[in-house]
Amino acid sequence: MGRIEDRYRTAVQTERSVIDALRPVGEAIAVRGPASLSNLGPGFDAVGLCLDGWGDVIEARVVEEPGVHLLPGEGAVAWTPPPSVAENTAGMAAHLVMQRLGVEGGLALRIHKGIPPGSGLGSSAASAVAGAWAANVAFGGGLEKTDGDLIEAVLEGETVASGSRHGDNVLPALLGGLVLVDPDDPARHRRVGVPPGLSIAVILPQVQVLTKAARAILPQEVPLRDAVRNAAAFAFLVDAFRAGDWETVGRCIMADRLVEPVRAPLVPCYEAVRRAALDAGACGCALSGSGPALFALTGEAGRVEAILQAMLEASRNAGIPARGFVSGIDDQGARAVR
């Protein structure tokens, strides 16, 4: 897969008849909201990692007509009629940023979906951060990424899609890198410095796993021993990321005893893909979020493509078509692109 910036370069530079009808003001901009991994094994709802090279792109242009105007782009379902701002994650996030900035006029957003909904790679989060950052940039860039109002905007945008406030995808997508999140107060977070050198193979099997359904099957009570082991695995995971100890990171992402064992059956190729990744030399392999995406890690950049191909072949042999890509950690997060 080519980088999202390359795929949409022509679209970003092209005048849109619908936007023109809205009496545009100034130049169009484009903002990329990156894909992200969440949970990373034992870190359910508490950690996420921003991925390089794949995401959603939103074209934005200031217009004279007040409010946020939503337009479907490449990869998005045609809207008849367009959804209201309250029904769209990017639109809601942009609206809240405009409120915070106290701007007049309006904003037209054309949403190009690079991340399929229900993929486990933060599709709604990518749109939320792209919408919020596009509004911020379009109206002068008055908010820093760590501004509480901007963070609230992306969290509220994500809530439109998920029904509850989750920061484990939106905050990594906004800030970049590895981010720890308080599940009870997602605005409370901490970015963890990670050294370079990690390569990631990601596959997306053609299986639909809806986040709400995947949450509904989780146990409400768990054995104390399993909870203690998960806590220990998560502690080692964070420290291993900080140290660049990829072997330990790989072991820890496969140590979850609470969530992934329950969700794994929702992805029929799960065991086959995980075995194939490990046999090809991966340090570890796990679900991203509720799935169906699976990711594998290696500290050897020359090995990651072979790991990816092994994972894709295993999924196909299990009767499930899949696509995939190779990534690294995106330390920048949401940003304007050309």
Q: Please, what CATH class does the domain formed by 4-193+330-337 belong to?
A: alpha beta
Fold of 199-327: Alpha-Beta Plaits (3.30.70)
SS3 content of the chain, % helix, strand, coil (to 5): 40, 25, 35
What does the alpha-carbon distance between residue 277 and residue 279 come to, in Å, rounded to a whole number? 6
What does the alpha-carbon distance between residue 58 and residue 94 come to, in Å, rounded to a whole number? 11
Measure Cα distances from 187 to 90, 111, 145, 191, 280 in Å: 18, 25, 12, 12, 39
Residue position matching structure tokens 């340090």: 283
pTM for this prediction = 0.90
Domains of the chain, by residue range, sit at 4-193+330-337, 199-327
Give the SS3 label for residue 263.
Answer: helix
Tokens (6 digits) for 63: 């217009």
Q: What string of pLDDT tens digits covers the 338 residues of the chain?
A: 344 344 333 333 333 444 446 666 778 899 999 999 999 999 999 999 999 989 999 999 999 888 899 887 775 555 545 667 778 999 999 999 999 999 888 999 999 999 998 899 999 999 999 999 999 999 998 999 999 999 999 999 998 877 778 899 999 999 999 999 999 999 999 999 999 999 999 999 999 887 777 888 899 999 999 999 999 999 999 999 999 999 999 999 999 999 999 999 999 999 999 999 999 999 999 999 989 999 999 999 999 999 999 999 999 999 999 999 999 999 999 999 97
